[in-house]
Amino acid sequence: MTADNDTRPQNLADDRAAAERAQAELVEEFGFFDDWTERYRHIIDMGKALPELNEAEKIDQNLVRGCQSQVWFVLEKDAEGRLKIRATSDAMIVRGLIAMLLRVYDGRLSQTIATTPPQFIEALGLQAHLSPTRNNGLLAMVKRLQSAAVA
């Protein structure tokens, strides 16, 4: 999910631009689908491609509070202030939502994560097509990433 070190933006402005570009690419990608059944299927397929965490990482400390499903985030900040995100869930649709968040935020500078709102959520109409509990969980995941970024 993360770009390799040679292709990652090296400054904050470029990193923010890359995160915005990732969001625009998600919106464009989902624009190819005619209806929400196809979009849900694509979200689930994205989740299937997400690497699994090992059982030792599925601990209470990594659990994201506020999610209907069980969601675990393993977050590591490197020396440059980039946040490496590994995550999973016990629900396939949520795994797909995680995959979307990772495309935008994984490997980004902490300042980028803290100051770049997930505009793709509204642009795709996710809030209107997810249950209220899934919406709450998605917002909890975003808040967890933003909190880790400023910590």
Residue pLDDT, tens place only, 44-83 = 999 999 999 999 999 999 999 988 899 999 999 999 999 9
Cα–Cα distance between 145 and 151 in angstroms, integer?
A: 10
pLDDT of residue 2 exceeding 50 = no
Confidence of residue 143 (pLDDT cuts 50, 70, 90): very high
Cβ contact 99:49 at 8 Å:
yes
Q: Where are the domains of the chain?
A: 12-150
Cβ contact 47:92 at 8 Å:
yes
Q: Which of 18, 22, 67, 126 is catalytic?
A: 67
CA distance to 56, 57, 64, 130, per residue, from 61 (Å): 11, 9, 8, 27
| Residue among 55, 90, 49 at smallest CA distance from 74 | 55
Model pLDDT, residue 4: 45
Q: By percentage, how much of the chain surpasses pLDDT 90?
A: 89
Mean pLDDT, residues 96-121 taken together: 97
Name residue, tokens 């910590």. Answer: 151
Model pLDDT, residue 13: 93
67 noted as active-site residue: yes
Which 3 state secondary structure label does DSSP give 67? Answer: coil
Model pLDDT, residue 10: 75
Cα–Cα distance between 122 and 14 in angstroms, integer?
A: 23
Confidence of residue 3 (pLDDT cuts 50, 70, 90): very low
Note the pTM of the prediction, 2 decimals: 0.91
Cβ contact 23:120 at 8 Å:
yes
Count CB neighbours of 28 within 10 A.
10
Model pLDDT, residue 7: 63
| Residue among 60, 148, 55 at smallest CA distance from 106 | 148
- The CATH number of 12-150 is which of 3.40.50.1580, 3.30.2350.10, 3.30.420.40, 3.90.1010.10? 3.90.1010.10
